[in-house]
Structure 1
Amino acid sequence: MPLSTSIAVCTYNGERFLQEQLDSLLSQTRLPDQIVIRDDVSGDRTVEILRAFVPVAEALGISVDLQVNARNVGYRCNFDGALRACTGEVIFLCDQDDVWHADKLARICAEFEMRPGLLALHTNARLIDGDGKVLPRSLFRSLKVGTREVRQMHQGAGLTLLFKRDMVTGATMAFRHIVLADALPLPESGWVHDAWIVTLAAMRGDVDTLDSPLVDYRLHDSNQLGLGGNDPLRPAERRQQHLQQDLSADLLTRAQQLHLPASIRALIKQKQQHITNRANLPLSRFRRIPVVLEELFAGNYQRFGRGVLSAAVDLIR
Structure 2
Amino acid sequence: MPVVHTDKVVVLLSTYNGEKFLEAQLDSILKQTYSNLIVVIRDDGSTDATVSILEAYQQYDQIILMSDTRNNLGPKMSFGELLRLGLLDTTAEYFMFADQDDIWLPDKIERTLRVMKREEAGGASLPILIHSDLRVIGIQGEEIHPSFWAYQNLRPSRDSFPRLLMQNVITGCTVMLNRKLAELCLPVHPDAIMHDWWIGLVASAFGKIGYVHEPTILYRQHQQNSVGAKRFNSRYILNKIFEPVSIEKNIKQASAFRAKFIHTLSGRSRLTLDQYIALEHASYMKRRLLIVKNGFYKIGLIRNLGLLINWR
TM-score category, normalised to shorter length: 0.7 to 0.9
The structural deviation recorded for 1:303 is 3.7
The 1-side partners of 2:31 and 2:300 are apart by 44
The structural deviation recorded for 1:25 is 0.4
Structure 1 position 26 matched with structure 2 position 23: no
Label 1:73 to 1:210 Cα distance change in 2 as closer, same or farther (>3 A).
same
The 1-side partners of 2:229 and 2:162 are apart by 21
Alignment of 1:59-78 (within 5 A): 62=62, 64-78=64-78
**TM-score, normalised relative to structure 2:** 0.83
The 2-side partners of 1:195 and 1:293 are apart by 24
Q: 1:250 aligns with which of 252, 256, 271?
A: 256
CA contact (8 A) 1:292 1:311 kept: no
CA displacement, residues 266-287 of structure 1 (integer Å, 9 cap, x when unaligned): 111111123543xx63xxxxxx
Structure 1 position 268 matched with structure 2 position 273: yes
Residue number in structure 1 paired with 2:80:
80
The structural deviation recorded for 1:11 is 0.2
The 1-side partners of 2:137 and 2:300 are apart by 32
Structure 1 position 170 matched with structure 2 position 172: yes
Structure 1 position 48 matched with structure 2 position 42: no
TM-align CA RMSD? 2.9
Q: 1:131 aligns with which of 106, 126, 140?
A: 140
The structural deviation recorded for 1:81 is 1.6
Label 1:28 to 1:244 Cα distance change in 2 as closer, same or farther (>3 A).
closer
The structural deviation recorded for 1:315 is 3.9
Q: Structure 1: 5+ residue runs without aligned partners?
A: 282-289
Label 1:299 to 1:245 Cα distance change in 2 as closer, same or farther (>3 A).
closer
The 2-side partners of 1:111 and 1:197 are apart by 18
The structural deviation recorded for 1:138 is 1.7
Residue number in structure 2 paired with 1:285:
none
CA contact (8 A) 1:38 1:69 kept: yes
Aligned residue pair count: 292
Q: 2:308 aligns with which of 302, 307, 314?
A: 314
The structural deviation recorded for 1:165 is 1.6
Report the residue type matching 2:185 in the other structure. Answer: A
The 1-side partners of 2:289 and 2:116 are apart by 42
The structural deviation recorded for 1:248 is 1.2
The 2-side partners of 1:17 and 1:175 are apart by 25
The structural deviation recorded for 1:183 is 1.2
The structural deviation recorded for 1:171 is 0.7
Residue number in structure 1 paired with 2:109:
105
The 1-side partners of 2:182 and 2:281 are apart by 29
**TM-score, normalised relative to structure 1:** 0.82
Residue number in structure 2 paired with 1:95:
99
Residue number in structure 2 paired with 1:140:
149
The 2-side partners of 1:192 and 1:198 are apart by 10
Label 1:312 to 1:20 Cα distance change in 2 as closer, same or farther (>3 A).
closer
Q: 2:161 aligns with which of 159, 162, 166?
A: 159
Secondary structure at the residue paired with 1:167?
coil
Report the residue type matching 1:37 in the other structure. Answer: I
Q: Structure 2: 5+ residue runs without aligned partners?
A: none
CA displacement, residues 282-311 of structure 1 (integer Å, 9 cap, x when unaligned): xxxxxxxx4466446x524x4444698636
The 2-side partners of 1:124 and 1:308 are apart by 21
The 2-side partners of 1:192 and 1:316 are apart by 24
Label 1:32 to 1:92 Cα distance change in 2 as closer, same or farther (>3 A).
farther
CA contact (8 A) 2:136 2:221 kept: yes
